[in-house]
């Protein structure tokens, strides 16, 4: 009998789709299959696409996938998997996953696999199981994995820890130069795209974004074996609906991959991503184990005390952890704690 | 922590451009806590079956108002079976003459919903069918 993992490695798309569901549902069978598949992962280029809702992420992903399938420079086509994340309702847990609407050009191509994911309560722009889903697609042998985040505001920056290359998509009219120098989403861009570059205000937006990049970038430096020693995020205007600027964007993506390989950044990102993944798994598992070790009803009792304002959130925490409450008698400026 | 979500593909095969009904159903299923993959207008049966496969859905809802259901629906069913997804619960909504309903059910469609069906009924049928399947 062949296992699910073997079927995936043999190229079964049905098995792959089933596996992704098991992973999303955090089913132990999915974990077992991933254990088998993991040694086969680590070959694909993971490319994140993030930006505000309506900036044109899905349309851009559609065009990028087409460009990877039919490279303009005549190089061999690359296989492409797309993971498109949309938000789950915080109230019902349901989701409407609509990214495929913009990706109809890709249907019928056996070298493309599209999977929609609901965020299922995670807040960083991805679902908790997105890293494992991408790992499975990587193991299945796709060359390129495009990861489209939830329409992101300012701080959904988890994609920066996941992808090798992060593309941040902006559109004209999204804010002034103060927005552009705030910390957050623009900082994580390896490549900055101004999509809808034919709309009014595009010139202004380009100027603002360019100024922001110049403020933040180190001065041009020496090159190492043909690649820049320091990566300066390029700004690429595109009109995804008309396929404009896509070839140029693809060139920057390939240049970034080359830069990562030359600079050692590829391995560094891979190592830190695996560390992050382990730490997140650990947190989830420890929390689960700790909660199941609590005496029946204790959590509810302490929560009720907190909600009735009989104890403070910190007192509730110390009680749950079985720690003694903090001494009440610390005076301002007292050094008693340090002398103890 | 294992959580099983019902995943449904809502698709509009054929050439009519009226997707209000499809969107109303998609929204109702979303509000019932399901994950709804919406593919948009003018889908071929091949596109629908491919999306159903990649998304590993439990159910496919087809909205057809063009009168082409007797051509489109059997093709979708055939492709799903060919892909190893014969278990997928297929339901049809839109303008379907009464006289065609028995034939659609006989070919494997699980339910046909005409105008005026409450979205609550669609939700309940789907929940019941998928629950039953998981216990089978």
Pairing of strands B7-11, A112-118: unpaired
A311 falls within a domain:
no
Q: Which residues contact A52 (CB under 8 A, 6 or more apart)?
A: A151, A152, A153, A169, A170, A171, A174
- The 10 Å CB-count burial string (b at 16+, else e) for B68-93 is ebeebbbebbebbeebebeebbbbbb
Q: Which of A264, A281, A314 is the last residue of a domain?
A: A264
CA atoms within 13 A on the CB side of B52: 31
Instruction: Kindly state whether residue A281 falls inside one of the protein's structural domains.
Output: no
Domains and CATH numbers, chain B: 7-135 (3.40.50.280)
Residue A157 within a domain: yes
- So what's the pLDDT on residue A80? 98
Please state which of the ranges A214-223, A262-271, B52-61 shows the lowest mean pLDDT: A214-223
Q: Is the pLDDT of residue B106 over 70?
A: yes
3-state secondary structure A65-84: HHHHHCCCCCCCCCCEEEEE
Say whether pLDDT at A121 is over 90: no
Looking at residue A224, what is its pLDDT? Answer: 47
What pLDDT is attached to residue A176? 58
Q: Is residue A314 part of a domain?
A: no
With CA atoms as reference, report the closest residue to B119 among B101, B99, B96, B93. Answer: B93
For residue A236, the surrounding DSSP H or E stretch is strand A235-237
Q: What is the C-alpha to C-alpha distance for residues B88 and B94, in angstroms, rounded to an integer?
A: 20
Domain membership of residue A283 (yes or no) is no
pLDDT over 70 at A57, yes or no: yes
Q: Which two tokens stand for residue B10?
A: 């809502």
User: Per the CB < 8 Å rule, is B33 touching A92?
Assistant: yes
- Per-residue tokens: A82: 């797309």
Residue B134's pLDDT is 73
The reply to whether A12 and A129 lie within a common domain is: no
**What residue of B is the nearest CA neighbor of A107?**
B47
Nearest CA in chain A to B82: A14
Question: What local confidence, expressed as pLDDT, does residue A245 receive?
Answer: 96
- List, in order, residues 6 or more apart from A255 with CB less than 8 Å away: A227
CB contact under 8 A, A26 and B1: yes
User: pLDDT at position A332, please?
Assistant: 59
Are residues A18 and A109 located together in one domain of the fold? no
Query: Contact A115/B34, CB-based, under 8 Å?
Result: no
Chain B CB within 8 Å of residue A35 CB:
no
Residues A184 and A78 reside in one and the same domain: yes
- What local confidence, expressed as pLDDT, does residue B135 receive? 67
| Distance to chain B for A162, nearest Cα, Å | 22
The predicted pLDDT at position B2 comes to: 45
For the cut 90, the answer to whether the pLDDT of residue A10 exceeds it is yes
d(CA A56, CA A239): 9
Which member of A28, A92, A108 has the closest CB to residue B46?
A108
| Cross-chain CB nearest to A288 (options B1, B4, B54) | B1
Count of C-beta atoms within a 10 Å radius of residue A31 = 12
> What's the rounded mean pLDDT across residues A281-289?
91
pLDDT greater than 70 at residue B57: yes
Q: Which band of pLDDT confidence, cut at 50, 70 and 90, is reported for residue A216?
A: low
Determine, yes or no, domain membership for A159: yes
What is the mean predicted confidence (pLDDT) over B101-118? 94
pLDDT of residue A41: 94
Q: Contacts of residue B35 in chain A, CB cutoff 8 Å?
A: 88, 94-95, 97, 116, 118
Q: A104 falls in which pLDDT band (50, 70, 90)? A: confident
B129 touches chain A (CB under 8 A): no
Q: Which of A272, A16, A282 is nearest to A141 (CA)?
A: A16
> Which of the four pLDDT bands, split at 50, 70 and 90, describes residue A317?
very high
> Which among B30, B46, B83 is the nearest to A95, CB-wise?
B30
pLDDT at B40: 84
Q: Say yes or no: A143 and A240 in one domain.
A: yes
pLDDT at A336 over 70: no
The closest CB to that of A25, out of B2, B30, B55, belongs to B2
**Same domain, yes or no: A66 and A106:** yes
**Domain span at A11:** 1-38
Q: Is B54 in contact with A113 (Cβ distance < 8 A)?
A: yes
Q: What angle do CA A70, B10, B28 make, to 5 degrees?
A: 140
Q: How far is CA A279 from CA A14, A120, A285, in A?
A: 31, 19, 10
Q: Give the count of domains, chain A.
A: 2
Inter-axis angle of helices B45-55 and B69-82, nearest 10: 40
Which ipTM score applies to this complex?
0.92
Say if the Cβ atoms of B51 and A114 lie within 8 Å. Answer: yes
What's the mean pLDDT when you consider all of chain A? 88
CB-based contact, A230 to chain B, within 8 Å: no
Q: Are strands A223-224 and A227-228 parallel, antiparallel or unpaired?
A: antiparallel
Contact A52, A84 (CB under 8 A): no
Of all residues in chain B, the one with the smallest CA distance to A285 is B1
Provide the pLDDT for residue A340.
Answer: 45
Question: In this structure, are A57 and A32 located in the same domain?
Answer: no
Rg (CA), chain A: 24
pLDDT, tens digit, for every residue of A142-190? 999 999 999 876 667 888 889 999 999 998 886 655 666 565 777 889 9
Binary contact (B30, A27; C-beta < 8 A): no
Q: Give the gyration radius of chain B's Cα atoms.
A: 14
**Chain B CB within 8 Å of residue A31 CB:** no
Angstrom distance (rounded) from CA A331 to CA B77: 76
- List the CATH number of the domain containing A224: 3.40.50.300
Q: Clarify whether residues A67 and A148 are in a common domain.
A: yes
Of A106, A17, A101, A21, nearest to A57 by C-alpha is A101
Is A105 found in the same domain as A7? no
Examine the fold and report which residue of A230, A264, A298 is the final residue of a domain before the chain moves on: A264
- The answer on A56 and A7 residing in a single domain is no
A126, part of any domain: yes
| Contact with chain B for residue A303, Cβ under 8 A | no
Is residue A130's pLDDT more than 60? yes
| pLDDT for residue B3 is more than 70 | no
Place A323 in a pLDDT band, splitting at 50, 70 and 90: confident
Q: Which residues in B lie closer than 8 A to residue A95 (C-beta atoms)?
A: 30, 35-36
Q: What is the mean pLDDT of chain B?
A: 91
Instruction: Determine the Cα–Cα distance for residues A92 and B29; give it in Å rounded to an integer.
Output: 10
Q: How many CB pairs under 8 A join A and B?
A: 90
* A92 lies in the same domain as A236: yes
A231 in any annotated domain: yes
**Which of residues A206, A239, A264 is at a domain's end?**
A264
Q: What is the pTM of this model?
A: 0.89
Q: Answer whether residue B122 shows pLDDT above 90.
A: yes
pLDDT higher for A210 or B48?
B48
Report chain B residues whose CB lies below 8 A from the CB of A97. Answer: 35-38
Find the mean pLDDT for residues B96-103: 94
A44 DSSP 8-state letter: S
Predicted pLDDT at A144: 98
Chain B residues within 8 A of A114 when measuring between CB atoms: 51, 54
Confidence of residue B34 (pLDDT cuts 50, 70, 90): very high
Which residue matches tokens 């209000």? B20
Q: Residues A30, A61: one domain?
A: no
Say if CB B90 and CB B8 are below 8 A apart: no
Nearest CB among B4, B37, B56 relative to A100 is that of B37
Please tell me whether residues A112 and A185 are part of one structural domain. yes
CA distance A311 to A136: 46
- Report the alpha-carbon distance of residue A105 to residue A63 in Å, rounded: 9
> What sign does the dihedral B79-B81-B87-B90 (CA atoms) show?
positive
Q: Do B27 and A88 touch (CB under 8 A)?
A: no
Name residues whose C-beta falls within 8 Å of residue A144's C-beta, 6 or more positions apart in sequence.
Answer: A44, A45, A47, A65, A68, A78, A79, A80, A81
Q: Considering only A29-33, A209-213, B46-50, B107-111, which range has the smallest mean pLDDT?
A: A209-213
Chain B contact present for A340, CB below 8 A: no
What distance in Å separates residue A326's CA from the closest CA in chain B?
A: 34
CA B8/CA B27 separation, integer angstroms: 11
Residues of A in contact with B43 (CB under 8 A): 104
Residue-level pLDDT at A177: 58
Q: Using alpha carbons, select from A186, A189, A191, A196 the residue that is nearest to residue A238.
A: A196
A86: exposed, middle or buried (Cβ count in 10 Å: 0-12, 13-18, 19+): buried
B101 min Cα distance to partner chain A (Å) = 29
């Amino acid at each position: 009998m062949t296992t699910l993992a073997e079927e995936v490695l043999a190229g079964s798309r049905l098995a792959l789709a089933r596996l992704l569901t098991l992973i999303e549902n955090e089913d132990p069978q999915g974990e077992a299959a991933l254990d088998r598949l993991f040694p086969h992962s680590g070959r694909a280029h993971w490319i994140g696409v993030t930006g505000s809702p309506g900036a044109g992420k899905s349309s851009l992903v559609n065009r990028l996938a087409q460009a990877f399938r039919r490279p303009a420079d005549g190089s061999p086509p690359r296989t492409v998997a797309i993971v498109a994340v949309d938000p789950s309702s915080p109230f019902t847990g349901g989701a409407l996953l609509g990214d495929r609407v913009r990706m109809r050009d890709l249907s019928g191509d056996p070298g493309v696999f599209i999977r929609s994911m609901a965020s299922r309560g995670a807040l960083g722009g991805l679902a908790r199981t997105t890293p494992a889903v991408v790992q499975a697609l990587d193991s299945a042998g796709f060359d390129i994995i495009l990861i489209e985040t939830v329409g992101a505001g300012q701080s959904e920056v988890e994609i920066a820890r996941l992808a090798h290359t992060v593309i941040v998509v902006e559109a004209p009219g999204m804010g002034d130069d103060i927005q552009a120098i705030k910390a957050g989403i623009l900082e994580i861009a390896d490549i900055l795209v101004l999509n809808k570059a034919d709309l009014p205000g595009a010139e202004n937006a380009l100027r603002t974004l360019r100024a922001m990049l110049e403020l933040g970038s180190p001065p041009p430096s020496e090159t190492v074996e043909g690649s820049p020693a320091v990566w300066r995020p390029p700004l690429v205007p595109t009109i995804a609906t008309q396929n404009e600027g896509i070839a140029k964007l693809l060139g920057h993506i390939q240049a970034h991959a080359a830069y990562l390989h030359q600079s050692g950044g590829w391995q560094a990102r891979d190592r830190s991503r695996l560390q992050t993944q382990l730490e997140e798994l650990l947190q989830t598992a420890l929390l689960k184990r700790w909660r199941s070790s609590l005496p029946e009803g204790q959590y509810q009792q302490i929560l009720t005390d907190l909600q009735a304002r009989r104890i403070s959130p910190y007192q509730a925490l110390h009680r749950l952890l079985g720690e003694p409450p903090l001494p009440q008698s610390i005076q301002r400026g007292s050094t008693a704690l340090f002398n103890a | 922590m294992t959580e099983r979500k019902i995943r449904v593909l809502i698709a509009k095969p054929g050439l009519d451009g009226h997707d209000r009904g499809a969107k109303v159903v998609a929204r109702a299923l979303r509000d019932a806590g399901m994950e709804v993959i919406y593919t948009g207008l003018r889908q071929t049966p091949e596109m629908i079956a491919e999306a159903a496969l990649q998304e590993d859905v439990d159910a496919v809802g087809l909205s057809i108002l063009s009168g082409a259901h007797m051509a489109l629906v059997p093709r979708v069913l055939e492709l799903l079976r060919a892909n190893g997804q014969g278990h997928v619960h297929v339901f049809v909504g839109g303008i379907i003459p009464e006289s065609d309903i028995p034939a659609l059910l006989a070919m494997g469609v699980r339910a046909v919903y005409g105008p005026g069906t409450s979205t609550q009924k669609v939700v309940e049928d789907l929940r019941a069918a998928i629950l039953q399947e998981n216990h089978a």
